[in-house]
Amino acid sequence: MKTIANGIILKGLDLTPSRENILIDDGEIIEISKDVMEGEIIDAENKIVSPKFLNAHTHIGDTIIKDEGDGLSIGEIVRPPNGIKHLALEAASDETLRSAMKESMWQMHDLGISHFMDYREGGLHGVKLLRKASEDIPIKPIILGRDGSFYGEDPNMHEVKVAVRKLLKHADGIGLSGFGEIETEVAELICRKCAEAGKISSIHVAESEGVQFDSLEKCGKTEPQRAYEAGFNQIVHMANPKNDDIENLALSKSSLTICPRSNGALNVGINPLKEILDKGEKPLIGTDNIMLNSPNMFRELEFTLKIMKAYSRSYISPKDIFKLATTNACHDDVNIPGLDKAYIEVGQKEELFIANCKSNNPILSLINRTEIDDIVYISK
């Protein structure tokens, strides 16, 4: 039993700042009130108690090539199979990859991240490598695998089916680089098999304007439209929506994950987040390739708050930005099978961190001012 006392807690799904104590027993929040004080006391005076983060999109394998490829095109950097990232991953030994992934997982843990959703390259072997590497680190990887058989204009559907079945035995789902590399029938098969297994189907869409033009030329549909029709649970990016892509998001089974710093790093555009939030959507946010960005959610949130306000020329609430990384994932209408995230409420798991409060606005203090040394407690 322990009590986190005297802090400003970000309570409930709405992250309402509140001066209350939290009583925790065996990893579960059992009471929140002004006067509860039992067991071990953790003093959070002048501190903020926040739910931990979900980093909803990473590629931690490319920790091995941080900041390489600057100035090249997006295709030259990340497109399989010949982007510099894929060549580097293929050339790397398991040991090199394992220790690089561990480094990034510890960094994420120390920055208040409880879960991360990783697009793991390297097929089944790559999935197993990350699973094993994460075993002794208090962070939960949600691993989305892929396989070389998925690519190309004339895929062997039998091979694809076998690969999907094997992947889904060990992975939490499948994450695809994009429609540019795969055929619609492969996408549909993957979505169907993931749905049958209760697992996640995810794909990058509309990352650059070029891929949208290619998709329209090839089949008369945008990439998000194809993703909605195939039945993906999660689409990533949509920095370049066209036609009715935003309106149709609400009608689809997909939830959206945005990666604004990555889109900036690759000079591909800015996701129209304000417009998407105004439609009542609950997007998630991720730091994307570690070769491009550190997996630090505070950096992602500060960049996102400010670039989105500048881009839309209007006010966006810092709380709405903070929810991208915390409680949006806890809503029932965010359709990501198997994703369990907790928030600060009675009955929820203790999944929180405590950070110094450096201004009179707790959420802006976190977004604008938190450094790693400000985090004084991380729940196990």
d(CA 380, CA 378): 6
CB of 23 to Zn ion, least distance (A): 40
Interface segment toward Zn ion; rule CB under 5 A; list 19-27, 162-170, 288-296, 298-306 = 288-296
Q: Shortest Cβ distance from residue 284 to Zn ion (Å)?
A: 13
- Residue 316 in 3-state DSSP? coil
Cα–Cα distance between 152 and 186 in angstroms, integer? 10
Positions in 86-105 near Zn ion (CB under 5 A): none
Using the minimum distance from each CB to Zn ion, give the nearer residue, 47 or 204: 204
Q: Which is nearer to Zn ion, 51 or 283 (CB)?
A: 283
CB atoms within 10 A of CB 201: 28
Smallest separation (angstroms) from Zn ion to the CB of 123: 17
Shortest distance (Å) from residue 171 CB to Zn ion: 16
How many helices (H) and strands (E) the chain has is answered by 14, 18
Report the SS3 class of residue 354: strand
Which lies closer to Zn ion via its Cβ, residue 288 or residue 374?
Answer: 288
Buried b (16+ CB within 10 A) or exposed e, 292-303: bbbbbbbbbbbb
Residue recorded with tokens 């030994």: 93
Q: Which is nearer to Zn ion, 178 or 241 (CB)?
A: 178
In whole angstroms, what is the distance from residue 301 CA to residue 237 CA?
15
- Count of residues that interact with Zn ion, criterion CB under 5 A: 1
Q: Smallest gap, in angstroms, from Cβ of residue 204 to Zn ion?
A: 5
Nearer to Zn ion, 117 or 273 (CB): 117
Encoded one letter per residue, x for contact with Zn ion by CB under 5 A and - for no contact, window 229-268 reads ----------------------------------------
Whole-angstrom CA distances from 330 to 294, 300, 324 are 25, 20, 10
Closest residue to bound Zn ion by CB: 288
Choose the stretch contacting Zn ion; rule: CB under 5 A; options: 224-232, 268-276, 285-293, 320-328.
285-293
H/E run at residue 28? strand 28-33
Residue closer to Zn ion (CB basis): 245 or 288: 288
For Zn ion, the binding residues (CB under 5 A) are 288
